[in-house]
Amino acid sequence: MTRYPGYDVLAKRDTPSWDEATRRVVDARLAGPAARPVLEERDYRTLAALCDAVVPQPDRAEPIPVAPVVEAAIAEDRTTGTRFEGLPTMREAWGRGLAALEAEARLRHGTAFADLTPETREALLHAVDAEEVEAPEWDGLAPRRLFRDVMADEILRVYFAHPAAWSEIGFGGPASPRGYVRLGAGRRDAWEAPFAPPPDGGER
């Protein structure tokens, strides 16, 4: 449940809050990547299931298209600039990681990772995070680091870079050219989303 009901960051599109450069960036994110098939169908199904496990979207009429954007990053070998010890390059890490997830699912449950129930998928990812893996495809990889610092990190960055997620968390989007002025705790600018506490007044 959003704390910012009725808020839509895209209502700012044609206001002084955003300039033309900002509009182009936001429009590109809304359009999504061009079709660039780089993963095999099995690997893409694993990727899509992994994205659904990390950022479930059961209440969205139009889910944020996370997997296609992650696939585009893999195709471009695009990184944050950090190369972790014990892990290969971005593209190789994703390729081997998706294959290892698939192999672990088949070894433990006799079926594809994408065909596991959400609960079983989550339990498998907890095992990966605890480095309690059995499939030989993990050899030479650091399961926890691969899952946390490459896979989950990229999925979350893609999700929260989308305007629909901005509306969900009350973020006003890029601060160009207007910027933000009232930066103190409990203060907000007039064009920012009003905060709505839970109906019971508690924290969630």
186 within a domain of the structure (yes/no): no
Higher pLDDT, 75 or 111: 111
Contacts by 79-83, CB closer than 8 A, 24 or more apart: 80/153, 80/157, 82/149
Does any domain span residue 104? yes
With a cut of 70, say whether residue 177 has pLDDT above it: yes
Q: Quick check: is 137 in a domain? A: yes
- pLDDT score of 202 more than 60: no
- How large is the average pLDDT for residues 144-164? 95
40-62: pLDDT as tens digits = 999 999 999 999 999 999 988 89
Mean pLDDT of the chain: 89
Could you tell me if residue 188 is inside a domain?
no
N residues, the chain: 204
**Which spans in the chain are helix H?**
20-31, 41-54, 66-76, 90-109, 118-129, 143-145, 153-160, 163-169
The verdict on whether omega for the bond into residue 58 sits within 30 degrees of 0, i.e. cis, is: no
Please give the Cα distance from 39 to 186 (Å, whole number): 45
In a domain, 200, yes or no: no
The number of domains in the chain is 1
Neighbours of 9 (CB within 10 A): 22
pLDDT tens track for 77-107:
877 777 777 788 888 999 999 999 999 999 9
Range of the domain at 54: 9-169
Instruction: Indicate whether 196 belongs to any domain.
Output: no
Does residue 185 belong to any structural domain of this protein?
no
Position 30 in a domain: yes
Distance CA 158, CA 152 (A): 10
